[in-house]
Chains A and B, each alone.
Chain A
Amino acid sequence: MEANVTLPLQKPVARHLPGDLAIWFFIAAELLAFCVFFAAYAFTRAKHVELFNAEQLTLDRNAGALNTILLLTASYFVVRAVQAAEAGLKDKVAPWLAAGFLCGSGFVAVKVTEYADKLGAGITLSTSPFYMFYLSLTFFHFMHVLLGLVILAILWFHARRGNYGPDNATAMNNLHSGASYWHMVDLVWIILFPLVYVLR
């Protein structure tokens, strides 16, 4: 493995991407996928307004709102973890990440009960266009939450070893990359929740 070569002090750049270019490429691709899905939902709804309005009422809005709060809070904790690392408070990074992970797991738990309820009622992808989109969109997002949790767990594992601090540029780059991915999962849900659960 070729070692990293450290260049002589570069002039600090004012603007820079939090994390690796590769992860931002990935985030952009993900955002595009969700954009297409959101538009597909909205334009299909325009053709079946009454059906969508009626079936939207069968969704558990409280669960949706609770999940929004859980994701926002998880994101906030991850922000605090990154800030702790930036400030050199290495022993604070892991606890904040763990808190974020817990909130994310809360989202998963709420979502699973929601799915159990809907699938228990015999709802499938073929029930109606609304449920097709409800299940597809939320499940696609759900998979992202799971991947995000795996990433948080990996970051936590490294944070416990005290890897994240301003003295380790590569590690900080990884931390920012993982955190950015997690925020993307949050960002998408912020649109998804009102769109599928509330907008009528």
Chain B
Amino acid sequence: MENLTHTPVPVDTRRSTLVWLALIAATLATWGLGEEGASGPTAVAALLAIAALKSRAVILDFMGLRHAPLLWKGIVLGWLALVCTLIALAYWKGMP
């Protein structure tokens, strides 16, 4: 941390813009499913998958963990996997 030297990060604004647009589209999909009143295992799976993909994009592209040490990439992606698994498990448990 001390003795800092700047490590350049690859700059790809086009990719960032595309990711952003994809995230907006995914949000609209989530919103649409909500408007439809979608419920049940399929809807839960679809919504969780969308949320996971969105989160993954934010983690890798926006947070820039794609180029981070594997430990930290693993911690944050692992967190995402854990959260999604726990939510899925709880919804499965709450099924009639």
A interface residues with partner B (beta carbon < 8 Å): 4-7, 9-10, 12-18, 20-22, 24, 27-28, 31-32, 34-35, 38-39, 42-43, 45-47, 49, 53, 61-62, 65, 68-69, 72-73, 75-76, 78-80, 82-83, 86-87, 166-170, 172-173, 176, 180, 183-184, 186-187, 190-191, 193-195, 197-200
Residues of chain B at the chain A interface (Cβ within 8 Å)? 1-9, 11, 13, 16-17, 19-20, 23-24, 27-28, 30-31, 33-35, 38-39, 43-44, 47-48, 50-51, 54-55, 58-59, 61-65, 67-70, 72, 75-76, 79, 82-83, 86-87, 89-91, 93-94, 96
Residues of A contacting B91 in the complex (Cβ-Cβ under 8 angstroms) = 42, 45-46, 199
Contact of B4 among A4, A42, A62, A187 (CB under 8 A): A4
B8 lies within 8 A of A72 (CB): no
> For B13, what are the chain A residues with a Cβ–Cβ distance below 8 Å?
80, 83
- The answer on a CB contact under 8 Å between B39 and A35 is no
B62 touches A4 (CB 8 A): no
Task: Assess whether A190 is in contact with B51, with CB atoms less than 8 Å apart.
Answer: yes
With A72-B23, A193-B30 in contact, is A199–B47 under 8 Å at CB? yes
Task: Collect the chain B residues with CB atoms within 8 Å of residue A180's CB.
Answer: 63-64
User: What is the minimal beta-carbon distance from B8 to any residue of chain A, in angstroms?
Assistant: 6
21 contacting pairs across A/B (C-beta < 8 A): A4-B3, A18-B64, A18-B65, A27-B76, A38-B86, A42-B90, A46-B91, A53-B39, A75-B20, A75-B58, A79-B20, A83-B11, A83-B16, A86-B8, A168-B6, A183-B58, A183-B63, A191-B55, A194-B51, A199-B44, A199-B87
A contact face: mostly helix, strand, loop, or mixed: helix
A4-B4, A42-B87, A49-B94 in contact; A191/B76 too (CB < 8 A)? no
